[in-house]
Amino acid sequence: MIDAEKTSKDSILSLTACAVIALVATAAGILVFGATFLLILIPIAACVAAAYRIHNTGLQKRNELVESANRLNQTTVEVLATAVDARDKIGTGHVRRTQIYALGLGRAVGMSQDSLDALRLGSLLHDIGKLAIPDHILSKPDSLTPAEIEKVKTHCTIGASILEEIEFPYPVVPIVRYHHESWDGTGYPSALKGNRIPLGARILAIADTYDALRSERPFRKPMSRNEARTHISNLAGSRFDPDLVQHFLKNLTRFEVEIAAAGVDYPKEVAPQRRAIEGKSYVERIQSANREVFALFELVREFGESDSLGAMLKLFVAKLGELMPTDTCAVYLLHEGNEFASVAEVSGQNADIFMSKRVRVGEGATGIVLKNLEPVVNVNPDLDFSISQFDLVQEYQTMASVPLISESGLVGAVSIYTSAINEYEDEHIRILTTIADIAARAIEKLQTHARTRAHAMTDTMTGLPNARSLQVQFEREVARADRSNSNFQVIMLDLDGFKGVNDTFGHKVGDQMLREVGEVIYSQLREYDFLARYGGDEFIALVPDMTDLDVAELCERIEQAVRAFRLDVKGGRSASVGVSLGAAAFPEKGESLDQLVVAADRAMYARKTNRKNRELMRETQAPEIDDLRSALSRLPEAAPGGLIVELDESAVLIDSVN
């Protein structure tokens, strides 16, 4: 900076010296030449006076230019410092308040004018090194990782390196370099201790920290005045010079009066989030841009970390609600066939109503977006509602909808509805479109993942869950049974005669038989029961909260349903199979799936053996039964009190009735 006052003083000294020399010369001339010398001196004096006036005018103009240049330089520095301040999410006015605190404390301890001038610039530029720190670190709404902390620490040396290129007339660079040093030697970048830390840096450390404590940060709310005072006082002797802390706290009220007079006092309340963009100052615009960049960075990271579509969509609508005025935000996902889209996630007002909404492609505002793959903005919200929802329509002033387009094509649309503003602005739609593009890619990725996972958990032949899915469901049932102190049963099902179907009609018919019989078995189960194809011609069902009697009745129904099923085959023929079943209860028969499958398998073979024994008995007793039927047919009709004969396929019972 140019020192106009020093320049003016130098000129005055020079002129004074010239005047003294002129007086001495005049006195000498009078002594030598007498009074006539004055006649010669008058025109010379007139010329000197004119020259003096011209010199003064030039000097004044020069001083004005110097002052103007100084003001311009100071303004440039303040603008640069404010821009850096806005980039770091610490709130408007931080550098100006820090400067007032620092200069006030410097005057209180009697710093020289040059030192105060250095402190004036150093307090404005102390964070210039943060230009080299990534935005996502400066704006992170959480505690920094150790690696991120180390990165932030570099801003002191980087800032000093930047300012070393400028030939300041005052010691500005040491203030910037060392303002994060600690009195006890635990600071950075050089671990200086005590009075080895430059006085200006020690002063700036207190001023900077106090204002940061009073300001809102991404990861915490601002401290109150008393809380910040206590915090600074507690750090005296460790972080800060204790004498300077005493002076700071003693004069704090005076500093705060000066801050209020400068118009940079701490905000009494948070400004409304929905303030019109045109009304924002350039500082607010920079801060808004940084919030947007960080929000987008967080979205990409959090979308990437989501392992379920539902969780990702909840995050999607929540972020939109933070960044723009929305009373309701709904995400529509396209159905297979691309004829309809249904609401998959909604936040805000009337969420229960929106969750049941389904739109046809090409109908309504959202439907038009799905058809044309172009946004619609500031249209009447009633386009998306039926006549029966008239009351709902009255709640919104405007709406906007943008398509969700991934690399492989359209996946849906996101629509926002609000009554807070009359129309959305271009900036709103730009943000909405940007986030929608990020979300579309994440949705496609999660849908693909879900399909892949479903394919891995599904039997491709029957469409039923496979053995891997069975294991997962079994673990869920175990957890549920443990929580509720209940049980469930594992039912093993093995098709009888399936090999004969393959041998007689071919594997194509056998595959169809597996699918059809799977549906027959599934139809006999409750909605919350679970059926999986275990392998080959075997199925396993998990049925919770059933007694042994209930399971026996269920098995009987399944046997009858499968036995009654006929699969029509070409040529007027039909194929059929039977089924053998066995059940085992958790935890009585085992606590692992393998144990219960073995137990159910044993029960199934025992049941199958009993059935075969009955069939064998039926076959060996068939001739005797036929002879008995023939003899009985020749008997006269039984009179009351006679013999009653009851026959079935496996036994003959003859009771005497009195």
DSSP secondary structure string, 393-460?
A: HTT-SEEEEEEEEETTEEEEEEEEEESSSSS--HHHHHHHHHHHHHHHHHHHHHHHHHHHHHHHTB-T
**Overall average pLDDT of the 148-162 stretch:** 89
pLDDT surpassing 90 at residue 184: yes
Structure tokens at 408: 């492989």
pTM over 0.85: no
Name which residue leads in pLDDT, 393 or 409: 409
Q: How far is CA 404 from CA 69, 105, 178, 297, in A?
A: 54, 57, 50, 19
Query: Rounded CA gap, 646 and 651, in Å?
Result: 9
Name which residue leads in pLDDT, 319 or 16: 319
- pLDDT confidence band for 376 (50 / 70 / 90): very high
Q: Minimal CA–CA distance to 247: which of 216, 203, 204, 303?
A: 203
- pLDDT confidence band for 653 (50 / 70 / 90): very low
Q: 69-83, pLDDT tens digit by residue?
A: 444 455 555 555 555
User: What stretches of 12-151 adopt beta strand conformation (E)?
Assistant: none
pLDDT surpassing 60 at residue 287: no
Q: Where are the alpha helices (DSSP H) in 524-592?
A: 548-564
Query: Rounded CA gap, 400 and 326, in Å?
Result: 10
DSSP states of 272-287: PTT--GGG--HHHHHH
Cis bond upstream, residue 189 (ω within 30): yes
Taking the CA of residue 303 as centre, how many other CA atoms within 13 Å lie in the half-sphere pointing to its CB? 24
Q: How far apart are the first and last CA of the chain?
A: 133
CA torsion sign for 81, 84, 88, 92 is: positive
Q: How many helices and strands in the chain, by DSSP H and E?
A: 23, 14
**Overall average pLDDT of the 601-615 stretch:** 80
pLDDT at residue 179, as a whole number:
95
Query: Rounded CA gap, 513 and 189, in Å?
Result: 77
pLDDT at residue 643, as a whole number:
42
Structure tokens at 365: 């505002």
**282-286, 465-469, 603-607: range with lowest mean pLDDT:** 282-286
pLDDT surpassing 50 at residue 258: yes
pLDDT surpassing 60 at residue 485: yes
AA letter at 12: I
Burial of residue 616, with CB atoms counted within 10 A of its CB: 0-12 exposed, 13-18 middle, 19 or more buried: exposed
pLDDT surpassing 50 at residue 651: no
Long-range contacts of residues 265-274, Cβ cutoff 8 Å, at least 24 apart: 265/93, 266/93, 266/214, 266/215, 266/222, 267/91, 270/216, 273/325, 274/325, 274/420, 274/421
Q: Minimal CA–CA distance to 225: which of 253, 251, 258?
A: 253
Query: Rounded CA gap, 423 and 400, in Å?
Result: 9
Query: Rounded CA gap, 30 and 38, in Å?
Result: 7
DSSP conformational letter for 66: H
Other beta carbons within 10 Å of 418: 25
Name which residue leads in pLDDT, 46 or 370: 370
**Overall average pLDDT of the 629-639 stretch:** 56
Query: 14-23, 58-67, 418-427, 489-498 — which one is most confidently predicted on average?
Result: 489-498
Q: Minimal CA–CA distance to 487: which of 428, 546, 413?
A: 546
pLDDT at residue 381, as a whole number:
85
- Residue 16 host element (H or E): helix 4-33
pLDDT at residue 639, as a whole number:
45
- pLDDT confidence band for 48 (50 / 70 / 90): low
Burial of residue 354, with CB atoms counted within 10 A of its CB: 0-12 exposed, 13-18 middle, 19 or more buried: buried
pLDDT surpassing 80 at residue 294: no
| Whether the Cβ atoms of residue 93 and residue 222 lie closer than 8 Å to each other | no
Q: How many percent of the chain have pLDDT more than 70?
A: 71
3 state SS of 243: helix
pLDDT surpassing 60 at residue 9: no
Name which residue leads in pLDDT, 1 or 592: 592
Phi, psi of 403 (to 5 degrees): -75, 155
Average pLDDT, the chain: 80
Name which residue leads in pLDDT, 571 or 201: 201
**Overall average pLDDT of the 144-164 stretch:** 87
**Overall average pLDDT of the 405-421 stretch:** 92
Structure tokens at 382: 């009633």
**Overall average pLDDT of the 112-133 stretch:** 88
3 state SS of 31: helix
Query: Rounded CA gap, 182 and 238, in Å?
Result: 7
- pLDDT confidence band for 250 (50 / 70 / 90): very high
